[in-house]
Structure formats: C-alpha cells, structure tokens
Amino acid sequence: MIRRMLLLSFFAALALAGCRGGTSTEPPLLVPSKWVDHFFLPVTNMNNQPKAKAQSQSHFWPDGRTARLPPEHTVARDALKADDAFYRGVDSAGKPVAQYPVELSEGLLARGQQRYNIYCAPCHDAVGTGKGIVPTKGWIPPPSFHDERILEFVPGQLFDVISHGVRTMPSYAKQISEGDRWAIVSYIQALQRSHHASLEDVPPELRNNLR
C-alpha cells in the first residue's frame, strides 16, 4: 500500500513539474519539414507552411517558376493609357502635339500655376527666367522660358520635358500626373505670352490703366 502511494506521489510530482509555468530560453521543438513531407505527418509546426514565395522554384508549374506571368495582353485596371496625346504628348505619328488634349480653362491655369510654383519655380523661378534658388546653390542654371528657342516649343514638347526630363533636368513623371503636366504646360505658355504681350493684347477699356 505504502509503495503504491509512493509511486502515485512520484508521478503526481512529475506531472506537477510539467506545469510549473516557467518560460524557457530554449528554441521551440520543431518537427523537421522533411520528416513532415516524408512521413505525411499531420504536423506543420505552423511556421512551416506550404506556400509559394516569389522568385522561388516551383515543382507544380511545368516551367518551374513560382511567379506566374499575367496572360498576354493583360492591362492593369485603369492603366491602359491608350490616348497618346494625353498620356505621351504625341500624335499618331509620334510627333509632339501642337494642340492641347485637354480643355483649357481658368481652373486648369490656376492648377498649373500652383503646381508650377511647387515643382518648377525652385529652379526656373516664378516667372520662368531660370533664376530660381536652386541654381544659386550650384545646380546648372536652366534656360529662360522666354528664349526664342523655347518660345517655339509646342505643348507636346513642354509635356515631354516634364515627363522625361532633359539633359541635366530630371523627370517629374513620378511626382506630377499627366493631367497636372498639361496644367503646368498651359501655365508656362501663359507666362511666355505675358512676357511677349503687346498693347493689342490688352482689352481696349483697360488700356488707359497701363502706365
């Protein structure tokens, strides 16, 4: 009887020792994944989950690639950008457009002014003469928008400079959406016009106000 009780208390102590609630610094026991595969064990350890990681090898697809290519001619939603004039500033022959692919309005011009002052004025200055603050700190001075050469730019050419940059000027395609680029282009042309205006451009009733 005593022996049996001793045995019982021994196992009870053993069982209690298992519930001591302490933490362990040992790494958790893991069933190696090759055993899981090999013996079809229903244990996956949770941290060994069957999944396809990008760029990894696949034994499922015949081409051995995990990453699947989208079906041919797939276009992401809202990313077709088929309108060459609007998205690329060129006509069907690939030449820069001379006409705006957007409707000109006072609102567009105002938006253009605001975007211009943020993105272009630091280098090109507020009126486009190329005397912004950045060139005073060592950046290459940009040309004036009022030079003969740039006065002849059609809207598509100005759009192209914003989209792709030019020589030492970086592209602003990432920062400025196509719609905003056209707004800026219209504002630059307004600046150019303002520097080459004649008396005829002023409405007759306002001419007396000029000094």
Pattern of binders to ligand HEC over 88-117, x per CB under 6 A? ------------------------------
When asked if residue 136 is in the footprint of ligand HEC (CB under 6 A), the reply is no
When asked if residue 155 is in the footprint of ligand HEC (CB under 6 A), the reply is no
Least distance CB 62 / ligand HEC (angstroms):
48
CB nearer ligand HEC, residue 32 or residue 165: 165
Pair 140, 168: CB distance under 8 Å: yes
Name residue 65's beta-bridge partners. 57
Burial, 104: exposed, middle or buried (Cβ in 10 Å; 0-12, 13-18, 19+)? middle
Round to whole Å and give the CA distance between 95 and 103.
20
Candidate list 123, 127, 154, 190; residue touching ligand HEC; CB under 6 A: 123
Stretch that binds ligand HEC, among 54-62, 64-72, 81-89, 162-170 (CB under 6 A): 162-170
Angle of CA points 28, 30, 34, to nearest 5°: 160
Candidate list 144, 172, 189, 191; residue touching ligand HEC; CB under 6 A: 172
CB nearer ligand HEC, residue 97 or residue 158: 158
Assign 3-class secondary structure to 103-151: CCCHHHHHHHHHHHHHHCHHHHCCCCCCCCHHHHCCCCCCCCCCCHHHH
Could you list the residues that contact ligand HEC (CB under 6 A)? 119-120, 122-124, 134, 139-140, 142-143, 150, 158, 161-162, 166-169, 172, 176, 184, 188
